[in-house]
Chain A
Amino acid sequence: MTTTPHVDPRLLDPKLAKFNPLRRILVHDDFNDGTHGWVELIGNHDEHGDLDTVDEHMSDFRPPQLSSCSFFDVGTHGAMSGTYALKVATRPVAGHTGVAIRRLTMSGRGRVQFETYLAYKAEAASAENGAATAAGGGRWDANNHPSEQQFGAFTVATDICDGVRYHTVARYLNTDLDHQVRHQWVYPTVPEPTPREHFEGKVKLPRTADFTAPNPEDWKPFGEPQEMCFNEVPTKVNWHYLRWVIDTSTRKNVELQLNDVVHDMSDVPVPPYDEHYGSLQNLLNFYVSVRTHTDVRNFLYLDSVLISVDW
């Protein structure tokens, strides 16, 4: 029996073979050897380095962790490849958001693709954290675990500036603010409030505001609801493939793939800022966030990330 070699020699590398990159790979982040530039997002501070000048709702997005995915019942679960994954964690405070960001610039225009293998979890219960009785919980039925309804949402997003600044955003809304299952992809209809808008007195948001779009009414669904593989309990980690494509030549979304479902995003609007921002020419930032809707820590794990472009 003969087999035909893969046409793209890059994909003979097992670390790359699980991805579907565009022509040029900009970034391949394997978290077994560091954080690869993924860092906590923070708002801007003044000329003195006075942290009191940082917007309160952008002051505590938590440092990402190199996680061995260890749990109380099985010890080290490990990542999809190797031992370590990047973990973004919230505080156990309803409305708290954890955010990690990756900062690049653009040397061209065209399609940009973000791929990752991810898992998401709410924290397992302990006497100290009180998760078993926190809002969103309930009774275990030996299949669905109440922990799943204590996971709020995770988000993949960009911050881009080619003269015009805009964000492309896709959020998986696992549960709504009332802890009801939604399993719905959503997008914001407004641009993210910025530190400059606060500086100009236009907006002042509280600590646990949803920084991407604070008003729940500004989030709209796209695609059909999609069920994931949470896998019943908060200590079993199954990795999901995510592939998200945008086009920086048209400032538009293209599509989002999660495992075997491809959601057409070509009609999902991308709201630009009306005002000009300096110091940001060719900005190309990617961020991932995790947001809890109850007083239970929520976690987003990334096994690895690959960002590719067609320029």
Chain B
Amino acid sequence: MNMRQSLTAVIERNTTLTGEFTTEPYEAAWAGEARWFVRVLDAAGRRPRLVARTQISPDGLHWCDLDETDQSISPADGPVHSWPATGFGGWLRLRGTVVDEAADPAPDESARLKVLIYLALKA
């Protein structure tokens, strides 16, 4: 039996995300399957939420959205969130924003999420 190759990469570890961000480029041309996992370790703000999209690239330099799907990650929905990416070509990253859905947050309560972001790849 020819076993399928697999690789889980920790793209962000114990990272506090605020505002807009992109993750580092990751090469995945060898993989036929990809799945993101976001594990929320901590959160601050009234109703913090992470909105993210999978982005793809032909060269690791120039990027576009994989599709029009926004992933919504709210700590209130549990600590682990996941979604697949298909038809992605050679490179993957996340582009996201941490928002606070409470109206008029106080200036010292800017929303932030401390996360682990995994990319699980399989041939």
Contacts and interface: CB of A to CB of B under 8 A. Distances in A.
B14 interface: yes
A70 B90 contact: yes
A51 B16 CA distance: 12
Contacts of B26: 63, 65
A63 B14 contact: no
A91 to B, nearest CB: 6
Contact of A63 (B11, B58, B60, B61): B11
Interface in B1-42: 5, 7, 9-11, 13-14, 24-27, 29-30, 41
Size category of the A interface is 20 to 34
A66 interface: yes
A285 B82 CA distance: 34
Contact of A84 (B9, B14, B30, B63): B30
Interface string B60-74: 111100000000000
A282 B32 CA distance: 39
A105 interface: no
A40 interface: yes
Interface class of chain A by DSSP: loop
B101 interface: no
A76 to B, nearest CB: 8
A35 B63 CA distance: 26
Nearest to A66: B30
A226 B26 CA distance: 32
Interface in B86-123: 90, 116
Contacts of B25: 89
